[in-house]
Amino acid sequence: MSETILSKKNYTIGLILKIATILSCSLGLIFQVVEWQSVFIGPNSTLLYFTTQSNIWIAAICLVFLIIDLKTKGKRQISNRLYIIKFMFTVAIMLTFIVFAVLLTPQQEMSYILSVTNICLHNLTPIFAIADFIMCDYGYLSTKKHILFGTILPLIYCIVTLILSFNGVTYGDNRIVPYFFLDYKKLGWLSISDYGIGVLYWVIIITFMVLAMGAGLLAVKNIRGKGSMSNLQG
């Protein structure tokens, strides 16, 4: 059990960021269902997208931490396992932010880029959640090996998505996968063609991206933690 006492400033900002994360996720998901004329369960379920899942994960864990902070008034006593879960969910939402910005935005129409769904789910929720982790979660006792935890959810998602695809699950416009870099029929597995590199290459690239994001997030968290401890001692 890790004990952390948040300063009044960090406590207040943390509450705002957690609430903002939850509200952004909720608003984005509502508009997603309305705009896509889709539902969470059934064909073309929005739940099958990593964006949706990562938003729900981070909103849920922020709600848990929000309740803890409200009950303890910022005098946290939190299991390191719970911090690990929040780290995993934060890396997942960070991946959503970066992958969409770098790989998927060029393929989108301007109407979607400017939509409430995109602004909330791909931008505001990740920004609020990452800021909250850095601002408040320096009590997390992490090691270098902990960056591996960040790869668990993306890899599980990849495996499950491919299994669903093999069993006939389709997405909008009858696509066999939700994201182009998982399209094994078009890209192949280890091919390099006019369509681009194979799916396994993409999995390796994204895995290294996740490791880098996790390492960066923990590094900033550790620097933040040292600064906060110095302020308390001073």
Containing H/E element for 87? helix 80-99
Look-up of token digits 């995109």: 118
- What six digits make up the tokens of 101? 């910005």
CA distance 152 to 88: 8
Mean pLDDT of all residues in the chain?
Answer: 92
pLDDT digits (tens, 9 = 90+) for 33-54: 888 776 555 556 788 999 999 9
Cβ neighbours for 50, distance < 8 A, ≥ 6 positions apart: 92, 95, 96, 154, 157, 178, 179
pTM of the shown model: 0.93
pLDDT at 43: 56
pLDDT of residue 170: 87
Q: Of the ranges 82-86, 110-114, 146-150, which one carries the lowest mean pLDDT score?
A: 110-114
Could you tell me the residue ranges of all domains in the chain?
Answer: 2-233
Q: What is the pLDDT of residues 125-148, one digit of tens each?
A: 999 999 999 999 999 999 999 999
Give the distance from CA 15 to its chain's centroid: 19
Percentage of residues in the chain with pLDDT exceeding 70?
Answer: 93
CB-CB contact of 138 with 122 (8 Å)? no
Q: What percent of the chain has pLDDT over 90?
A: 82
Mean pLDDT within 222-230: 75
Residue 94, CA distances (Å) to 121, 124, 130, 159, 211 in order: 11, 11, 7, 20, 12
Where does the pLDDT of residue 233 fall: very low under 50, low under 70, confident under 90, or very high at 90 and above?
very low
Convert the pLDDT of each residue in 171-186 to its tens digit. 877 889 999 999 999 9
Weakest-pLDDT range from 40-49, 55-64, 218-227 = 40-49
Mean pLDDT of 79-83: 96
